[in-house]
Amino acid sequence: MSLSTFILSLTLAVDIFAAGLAYGLAGLPRARWFTMALVFSFFSTLLPVVGILAARWLSDALGTAIAYLAGGFLIVTGLRALGSVFVAGDGQQESKLSLEPGALAVTAFVVAVDNLAVGLALGILPIRLGALLGYLAVQSFVAALLGLALGQRLGTRLGTGAAALAGAVFVVYGMVLVLQTASAEATP
């Protein structure tokens, strides 16, 4: 796995970590931590794989256009994450997090939807899907548990910082992807 693939994959865990942090702050009972981490790990592994498979299929049909599309998705995803950090940070009251199992699963899916964009970006890289799948599953499970544990001990400040960092990494990587694609097309 290349360094850029590792860094991009690591950003997927930041969202899961932030969600775990939020559930830890909301007081999710320790008895439900394993289940929560498993549900979040499932969705945060499945959706990037769907994105990777879609990118590989689309790259055959669309060529370099898929690289621009993937870069654009990453930039929009990152800007949206940064925007939500700044909007939530302007003193408005955040909604109370539901601790019900159904709401937890919906939250896990919604948090992982952004990972489709990352999957699109990863899909144009020459990576082994099996190794990446195992890495994503373990990384997201551990990130969720760490977020839960730290959520009980730390304030929301770290959660906001983690989400802002993930958003910034998405924007930068999306811009790099678009610029690399443009550079490769310009080179004869």
DSSP string, 78-93: HHHHHHHHHHHTTTPP
Where are the domains positioned within the chain? Answer: 3-183
Q: Which long-range contacts does 170-173 make (Cβ < 8 Å, 24+ apart)?
A: 170/11, 170/74, 170/75, 170/77, 170/78, 170/81, 170/114, 170/117, 170/118, 171/74, 171/75, 171/78, 171/79, 171/82, 172/78, 173/4, 173/7, 173/8, 173/11, 173/74, 173/78, 173/121
| Average pLDDT of every residue of the chain | 75
pLDDT of 146 > 60? The answer is yes
Over residues 97-123, the pLDDT tens digits come to 566 778 778 877 777 766 777 777 777
The dihedral through the CA atoms of 41, 47, 98, 144 has a sign that is positive
Amino acid present at 171: V
CA–CA separation, 58 and 55 (whole Å): 5
Tell me, what DSSP letter sits at residue 127? -
Answer for the pair 47, 154: CB distance below 8 angstroms, yes or no: no
Lowest mean pLDDT among 22-31, 101-110, 137-146, 169-178: 169-178
Q: Pick the residue with more confidence: 2 or 29?
A: 29
Residue 37: its pLDDT value, please?
92
